[in-house]
Amino acid sequence: MGRSPFDPVAADYDAGRPSYPDALFAAIEEAARPLRGAVVLDVGAGTGIATRQLAARGARTVPIDFGELMLGRARARSPRLTCLQADGNALPIRSGSVDLTCFAQSWHWFDQHEASQEVARVLRPGGCWAAWWSHAWADGEVWFDTYQEVMEAACPGYRQHHRDPDWSEEGIASTGLFEPGVRTVVPWTREVDTATWLAEERSKSYIAQLAPPVRDRLLRRIGELLVTHFPGTPMIVPYRTRMWLALRR
Binding site for ligand SAM (CB under 6 A): 4, 6, 17, 44-46, 49-50, 65-67, 70, 87-89, 104-106, 109-110
Q: Which is nearer to ligand SAM, 104 or 218 (CB)?
A: 104
The C-alpha torsion from 120 through 92 and 100 to 109, rounded to 10°, is -80
The C-alpha torsion from 153 through 136 and 191 to 195, rounded to 10°, is -30
Contact criterion met (CB below 8 Å) for 248 and 149: no
Distance from C-alpha of 31 to C-alpha of 28, rounded to nearest angstrom: 5
Q: Which is nearer to ligand SAM, 163 or 217 (CB)?
A: 163
3-class secondary-structure state, position 149: helix
Count each helix (H run) and each strand (E run) in the chain, helices first: 9, 7
| Positive or negative: CA dihedral 164, 225, 197, 203 | positive
Q: Which is nearer to ligand SAM, 46 or 171 (CB)?
A: 46
- Cβ of 200: how many Cβ atoms within 10 Å? 18
- Cβ of 248: how many Cβ atoms within 10 Å? 23
Residue 108 Cβ vs ligand SAM, minimum distance, rounded to whole Å: 9
Q: Which is nearer to ligand SAM, 65 or 201 (CB)?
A: 65
What would you report as the CA-atom Rg of the chain, rounded to the nearest whole angstrom?
18
Residue 227 Cβ vs ligand SAM, minimum distance, rounded to whole Å: 27
Residue 80 Cβ vs ligand SAM, minimum distance, rounded to whole Å: 19
Residue 51 Cβ vs ligand SAM, minimum distance, rounded to whole Å: 8
Specify the DSSP class assigned to residue 181.
Answer: P
Q: Which is nearer to ligand SAM, 70 or 83 (CB)?
A: 70
Residue 25 Cβ vs ligand SAM, minimum distance, rounded to whole Å: 13
Residue nearest ligand SAM, Cβ-based: 46
Distance from C-alpha of 214 to C-alpha of 203, rounded to nearest angstrom: 15
Residue 240 Cβ vs ligand SAM, minimum distance, rounded to whole Å: 15
Q: Which is nearer to ligand SAM, 46 or 181 (CB)?
A: 46
